[in-house]
Each structure stands twice: as structure tokens, then as C-alpha cells.
Amino acid sequence: MYDKDKLKELPQSPGIYMMKNNQGEIIYVGKAINLRNRVRQYFHSQHNLTSKTAVLVSHIETIETIVTDSEMEALILECNLIKTHMPRYNILLKDDKSYPWIRVTINEEYPRIMMTREYKKDGSKYFGPFTSAFAVKNTIEAILKIYPLKTCNRQVMFGKKIGRPCLNFHIGQCQAPCRGNVSMEKYGQDIQSILDILNGRHPNLIKILKDKMDSAAMQQNYEEAAMLRDQISGIEHIVEKQKIISNTKQDQDFIAMAMADDMGCVQVFHVREGKLMGRDHFFLEGIAEVKLSEIMESFVKQYYSSCGFIPREIILREAMEDEKTIEQWLSLTAGKKIELHIPQRGKKIKMLEMVAENADLALKQHLLEKRQKEERSKSRLEGLADLLELEKIPKRIEAYDISNISGTNNVGGMVVFEDGKLNRKACRRFKIKSVEGQNDYASMQEMVFRRMERAMKVQETNTFLPLPEIMMIDGGLGHVTAVESIVSLYPVSIAVCGLVKDDHHRLRGIFYQGKEVALKKATPLGVFLFEVSEEVHRYTLGYHQVLRNKEMLASRLEEIPGVGKKRRATLMAHFENINNIKNANAEEIMAIPGMSEKTAQAISEYFHRD
């Protein structure tokens, strides 16, 4: 518990404060104009605190502060720290992802069009962000069918042939400027047409193309007319779903939210040059007792700190307490004037109502899916508890597998399922140390013994993974018996069962207490155990392949005259990996004790020859 006497030591300056628990983890990050006054509020009026804040205060062990010159700097630092540490008691976006953009490399002599998830100030033209990578890929594919631009990064110039054209040229999907016969003027006209489409200036372009098509048809040039017809059709297909929002041709974001229980959904509609280009939604958890203004402020700061593109106008349904400071920060981040608006009437408020309605629908759908997943998971675990005759539904299940080839690179893997869901952070890999050759029973025993010993040693401090109710072993009677002999050494009650495979290495049944029970594949329990079996096998095999590939790379050294197993080991110990050896010159290799000049020269020449 935090010592209140330390409050008087806090500075009375703007900055951020980081609250940590007894394990040193950052559990909350906040900003303040006056750090001492702000932090005191958590301790001097606890009867007014919400239940969530009261729980936060009970876990505070230490408070660290960082003083800044202004509230603006504090806001920027707060955003960065929240994104880095993801504190438990801050309002967090459920999914932190980067969004796709359409990038046109107009800074190149022969520009390309591509999808990217990074917005950079590199001279290219960016359109977005969009919410669907699938839609972006389809749009680019449609554009390239109309205007067959080059997609490779080969440097080309007019009048100079550079290599042979690739397959795209031969199937009509590239003009092949690498042949040197595509002028920059002709290529630039196609690029300008693409920019017109993406900017929404397609009506004029379609009119020009239709005039050209009619002219070609009048001259009985039917092939060109058909090509122009297909271009017009393609452009109309690309832009047909763009909904007109306003005639101002402004870039705007409309943001509204819906709440239910302890969860909320924030919906963002992206309007670019007056057209609705896409939308996105985010789910927020732990907001039952948080003010709407605080929720919206937290969302805006997190979203636009990593969005890449900030429109000139952001229209909100809920006001924020720190609106002016956030507006200044957004303007500083975007390098242009950004305005926040909370409309009371007119078209914008109607648009916000539509956004809020969509947020409510998305939230209801999410809660329904979440409830269905929980019921499905509960059904699986109830079936497993009944099968193994357990007194209660297991919360934690661990599955184990061994992987090797003829006893080499012997490794084990442990995957963890909590409440029926895979917990990737809790999975562990083991390099088997005490077993020589292929002995799966002994390898499994070593892995489980190390897992149990580690749990017993740190049980009091609770710094290692908790023990499971069920251990699932990849194998049958022999594997289960081997593991049970280890588990029986400890004062714990863990059910040990085997995942039995058929001759084709597919899950056949589960072995428990001396008998095998066949599984029905179509049942919830059958599907769940199949997932467990496949996941532990994939996880363990992946680790084995990593080690095997490293060994194969290292064994290349023995192909070099003068390098045997001993010198190979010396080289790997000194340089740590094969890439460092490749990059080393003869003098650096010769500096290793016991390395002759002739061998060092041979090693250097071997890799330089490659």
C-alpha cells in the first residue's frame, strides 16, 4: 500500500504520474497540471471514488513522476507511455492495429500504386486510412486492370532497355517501361487518371473517356472502343460505393459511441473530400463508472497518436474536458490546423446519430458473439469434466509434446489453455538436457519435472505460472505413466491424461485412468481436444525446426578445409551466429586463439565466394 506521507514530496508542476504495484508493474498512467494536487485526490477523498478507482488505489505501491514544461508535453508523454506499457487500469483500445493506405509513389519517375500500413512523409501520395485491407487490395487490383502500371521496384528510364520484361507484361498487366518505350508523359497521364479516381474527381474522367470511346467507335476502331468501355466500367465499379456526405469536399472524422454494462464501442466514420470512404470501430473495457468525457478523451488520444492521418475536422458527440489542449496537440502532430466540433443541430448531428446507431449495433453483435464463445467454451469444459469425472470445471489445462529426429535437437513444448482459450503468453519451450538419443518417456519426464520444480520453488512469491488442473500428454499409456510418476512426487492433485493418435497422427481418443475413450469429432469436446492436440504439436515442432535450421547453418562451416567440430564450436562461441562469421574478415577470424592464418583465409574466402 502506498505511503501517504510521500504525497508531500510530489512536485507541484505539470507532468505525468505512473502508479506501480508491488511487482513493479505500471498499472496506471495519468497527466496533470499540478502533479501533487492531482495524485492527492486519489487518497484524500476515497469515499467518493468509484469501485474501479478504489481497487486501483489498493494496489498502488509506488508512484513515479516525470515533470514536463507544459501540459502539452505531459499529454504527449502520457499517450506514448500508455501505448508502450498498456497499464491495466487505463482505458485501452481492445485492438491496436495499423490501417491500410493506398500509396502512389509520385516521387518516382514511373510511379507505382500499392497498399501500405505505414504513413510516411516520403513524397508519395497517400489515400486513407481504410478499415478493410481486402477492399484496398481489390481497389488496387481493379485500378491495375484499367491502368497496367509497373509493380516492381526496377529503376527504369525512357529510351533505355533494362533487362527483359517480366510475366506481367506478357499477360497484359504491365506496360513494361523497362523496355524503354513508355514515355513519362504517357505514363503520367495514367497516374493522373488514377489520382482523379482516388480523389473523387471521376465524373470528368468518365466524360473524357466516353467521348474518346464514341470517337473510336465512329472511326470503327472497335478494339480501342472496347478497351475504353472496360476502363469506364472499372472506374464506375471502384467508386460506386462512395456515399456523398457533404458538398464541402472536406476531410472529416465523425466519432460517436455506445455503452452496455462494462463495455463500450466507439465508431469512427472517415469522410474524405465529402465522401464516406470507410468506417471503423473499437471496443473499450472497464468503463462502467467512467465519465463519457474521460472515455472520449482517452480514445481520441490513443487513436490519433498512431493513426497516421488526421483530418482537419473531427466531429464528436461527447465533449472533452481538455479539449483545447488536445486540439493543440493534434495540430502539432498533424502539422496543420485541426478543429474539434461538438455540433448541436444540422446535418452533422444527424450524421453523428447514424454513427452512434452503428456503434450500438456493433456493440450488440460483439456482446452476442462474446456470449456465444463463452457458452461454447463452457460446453467444451463441462464435457471434459464429465469425461474425466472431475468435481469442478477445469480453468487451466496444459498440454505437452516432444519433438526430435533420431534423438537430435530434442525439445519439448507446453501450451496452456485457460477457460478453454489458448494463452500464448503462458506457453513455454524446453530444450531437453539430460536425455541422450530418442527416449520420449524420459524427455517428457524431464520437461514435467522442470515445470513442477520451478512452480514449487517460486510458489510463495507467485512469480511463475500457476499449476493446472489437467495435464494432457501427447501419447498413450507409456507417456501418461511416465508423467504420473513425476507428478506423484508433489503434494498436488493434477489429472494426467493422454492424447492418443492413430496411424495417420490424427487424434483418436483420450487415455485416462488406465482406459482409452474414443472421441466423436463433431462434438464440442472433440473439436476442443483436436485444437489442443494440433496446437501443442505445431508449437513444439516449430521450436525443433528453429534449432535444426540453426544447426544446419552452423554445420556449413565444416565444409571449409581446416574447420572441424571443435573449430566450428569455437567460431560459433566467439561470433554467436553464422551471419557474424560471414561478415568477419580474415584478420578478425585469425584473432581467435588457436586459429591459423590459412584457415582464417579459407573461411573468409568461402563466404565471400558465396
Q: What is the mean pLDDT of residues 69-73?
A: 78
Task: pLDDT band for 547, please (50, 70, 90 cuts).
Answer: confident
Which of these CATH numbers, 3.40.30.110, 3.30.230.10, 3.40.50.1820, 3.30.420.340, describes 396-551? 3.30.420.340
Q: Which fold has domain 4-85?
A: GIY-YIG endonuclease (3.40.1440)
Q: What is the pLDDT of residues 130-147, one digit of tens each?
A: 656 776 777 787 778 778
Q: pLDDT at position 201, please?
A: 65
pLDDT(14) > 90: no
Query: What's the whole-number average pLDDT of the chain?
Result: 82
Where does the pLDDT of residue 469 fall: very low under 50, low under 70, confident under 90, or very high at 90 and above? Answer: very high
- Per-residue pLDDT band at 247 (split at 50, 70, 90): low
Nearest-angstrom CA–CA distance, 579 and 557: 12
Ranked by mean pLDDT, the top range of 188-202, 372-386, 573-587 is: 372-386
Own/partner long-range contacts of 292-295 (Cβ < 8 Å, ≥24 apart): 292/257, 292/318, 293/318, 293/319, 293/320, 293/321, 294/91, 294/321, 295/91, 295/257, 295/264
Q: Using the predicted structure, report yes or no on whether residue 185 has a pLDDT greater than 50.
A: yes
Give start-end residues of each CATH 3.40.1440.10 domain in the chain: 4-85
Are 357 and 259 a contacting pair, CB within 8 Å?
A: no
For the segment 160-165, the average pLDDT, to the nearest whole number, is: 80
Q: Kindly tell me if the per-residue pLDDT of 202 is higher than 80.
A: no
The string of pLDDT tens digits covering residues 75-122 is 877 877 887 788 888 877 665 455 677 889 988 888 999 988 777 777
C-alpha cell at 455: 512452480
pLDDT band at 244 (very low <50, low <70, confident <90, very high): very low
What is residue 554's predicted lDDT score, i.e. its pLDDT? Answer: 58
Q: Which long-range contacts (CB under 8 A, 24 or more apart) does 417-422 make?
A: 417/532, 419/377, 419/381, 419/395, 420/376, 420/377, 420/378, 420/380, 420/381, 420/528, 421/377, 422/531, 422/535
The residue among 86, 92, 120 whose CA lies nearest residue 308 is 120
Least confident of 323-337, 443-457, 565-579: 565-579
Average pLDDT (249-269) is 86
Cα(254)–Cα(351) distance, rounded to whole angstroms? 8
Predicted pLDDT of residue 246: 52
Q: Smallest Cα–Cα separation from 270: which of 144, 140, 366, 358?
A: 358
Q: Are strands 313-316 and 252-260 parallel, antiparallel or unpaired?
A: parallel
| Phi/psi of residue 195, nearest 5 degrees | -65, -40
List where CATH 1.10.150.20 sits in the chain.
560-609
How confident is the model at residue 171, as a pLDDT? 82
Return phi, psi of residue 69, to 5°. -80, -25
Residue 218, amino acid: M
Which pLDDT belongs to residue 129? 63
Q: Render pLDDT for 31-63 as a digit per residue (tens, 0 to 9).
A: 888 888 888 888 876 667 777 788 888 888 888
Q: What is the CA angle 397-400-406, rounded to 5? A: 170
Grid coordinates 465508431 are at which residue? 267
Whether residue 462 is predicted with pLDDT greater than 60 in this model: the reply is no
Domain 252-364 bears CATH identifier 3.10.620: no
- pLDDT of 212 > 60? The answer is yes
Nearest alpha carbon to residue 143 among 223, 242, 238: 238
The pLDDT score that the predictor gives to residue 593 is 82
* CATH class for the region spanning 560-609: mainly alpha
pLDDT at 235: 66
At 565 the pLDDT is: 74
Q: Find the mean pLDDT for residues 11-16.
A: 87
pLDDT attached to residue 344 = 86
383-434, pLDDT tens digit by residue? 888 888 888 889 999 999 988 876 677 889 999 999 888 998 889 999 888 8
| pLDDT score, position 483 | 92
| Residue with more model confidence, 74 or 473 | 473
Q: What is the 3-state secondary structure (H, E, C) of 401-466?
A: EEEEECCEEEEEEEEEEECCEECHHHCEEEECCCCCCCCHHHHHHHHHHHHHHHHHHCCCCCCCCC
pLDDT in tens, 479-498: 999 999 999 999 888 999 99
Which residues of the chain are in CATH 3.30.420.340 domains? 396-551
Average pLDDT over residues 290-318: 85
Supply the pLDDT for residue 96.
Answer: 45
